[in-house]
Amino acid sequence: MSRSGDTNKSFWQTLEKLIGAKLPDLPDDEQLDLLKDTSWVQNYVKRAFEQVVPKQEPSQNRSGAAEVFETHHYVILKVKMPYEADPLVKLRVDQVKIESALKNISQIIRLPCLVVPSTGRATYKDGVLQVRIKKRKISKLYRDISVRYL
């Protein structure tokens, strides 16, 4: 055993005396080398995430990744796209669909919260399409409904 191994062993024995109980044996140098190789951790975490996080459907012919963020009252979406794309923007309460017949581009972007589609406004400037949609308010009031007795 190496000198550092002797030092670790004496430290371990001192620790056992302080605790007043027998601790598991220290791993030898060969076992410690195996513990130093942590490449398995990355693979383990990757597999765990693949099981937990569902795979996203890739958008067809994506011209740019969408940047989505929220303010207090709005959801704002920014997508880089060429001027020639002439986008057609379709809104739903939970997602935005951007299509272009000219460039055969279609992209669906899920929104982080529910919105009011009729309040949506889209602008194009300097190669960026920006869509601004008002968030849907969630009523915290309860509504009485009648009970029908059968």
pLDDT in tens, 88-107: 999 999 999 999 877 677 88
Mean pLDDT of 34-41: 73
Q: How confident is the model at residue 53 (pLDDT cuts 50, 70, 90)?
A: low
Q: Is the pLDDT of residue 142 over 90?
A: no
The domain 66-134 having CATH identifier 2.60.40.790: the answer here is yes
Gap between the Cα atoms of 95 and 110, Å rounded: 4
Which carries the bigger pLDDT value, residue 58 or residue 21? Answer: 21
Q: Is the pLDDT of residue 72 over 70?
A: yes
Distances 118 to 74, 81, 113, 129 between C-alpha atoms, Å:
13, 23, 15, 18
Mean pLDDT of 19-31: 75
Asked if 108 contacts 66 with a C-beta cutoff of 8 angstroms, the reply is no
Asked if 109 contacts 67 with a C-beta cutoff of 8 angstroms, the reply is no
Q: Is the pLDDT of residue 44 over 50?
A: yes
User: What confidence score (pLDDT) does residue 119 get?
Assistant: 95
Structure-block tokens of residue 30: 């060969």
Q: Is the pLDDT of residue 62 over 80?
A: no
Which carries the bigger pLDDT value, residue 45 or residue 128? Answer: 128
Indicate the average pLDDT of the chain.
81
Asked if 148 contacts 125 with a C-beta cutoff of 8 angstroms, the reply is no
User: Within a 10 A sphere around the Cβ of 92, how many other Cβ atoms?
Assistant: 13
Residue ranges matching CATH 2.60.40.790 in the chain: 66-134
Structure-block tokens of residue 142: 């309860």
Q: How far is CA 79 from the centre of its chain?
A: 18
